[in-house]
Amino acid sequence: MALAQEDIEFIKAHLGEWLAEQSLGQPPAVYEVELRERMVRVEEELKHQRELMYQGFQQMERRFEQVDQRFEQMEKRFEQMEKRFEQIDKRFEQVDRRFERVDQRFDEMLRRHDRQFLWLVGFIVTCTGLLFAGLRLF
């Protein structure tokens, strides 16, 4: 079945209207304007995204600076702790010296007591010997 010439002309006359109604075939000028508007919106959105990324990077940089400051503070604290430990070590060394002196005193005291004990034993033995010698003479 072939279309009549009248039908073809009717289709040609109304085809643009039908496509416009379906928004499938817009005139090139309207379509170009719409494309440009979309491109402008996309560019603006990209610019906005770029600005957001830049702000995010700046915030991250600030955070890194804060973390660096915290590390510096911790390093100072560790240095202070190290100084305190050195002072404590010095105190322990002093206490060790004192204990050594006390040990020396105890050693000396033990030697004196040993000598005194030996003298006492010698004195007792001598007195006992003299006592027995004196009893034998009488």
pLDDT of residue 15: 76
Where would I find the beta strands (DSSP E) of the chain?
none
Residue type, 7: D
For residues 41 and 48, what is the distance between their CA atoms, to the nearest angstrom?
10
Domain layout of the chain by residue ranges: 19-105
Q: What is the pLDDT of residues 82-101, one digit of tens each?
A: 999 999 999 999 999 999 99
DSSP 32: H
User: Which token pair is 53?
Assistant: 């990324």
User: Which token pair is 20?
Assistant: 């416009």
pLDDT at 6 over 70: yes
pLDDT at 125 over 80: yes
pLDDT of residue 32: 75
pLDDT of residue 9: 85
Residue with tokens 């002309």: 9
73 vs 135, more confident: 73
Contact 15/9 with Cβ under 8 angstroms? no
Q: What is the pLDDT of residues 8-65, one digit of tens each?
A: 888 888 877 776 666 554 556 667 788 888 899 999 999 999 999 999 999 999 999 9
pLDDT of residue 27: 56
pLDDT of residue 82: 96
pLDDT of residue 36: 84
pLDDT of residue 105: 94
27 dihedral zone (left: phi>0; alpha: psi -120 to 50; beta):
beta
pLDDT of residue 21: 67
pLDDT at 138 over 80: no
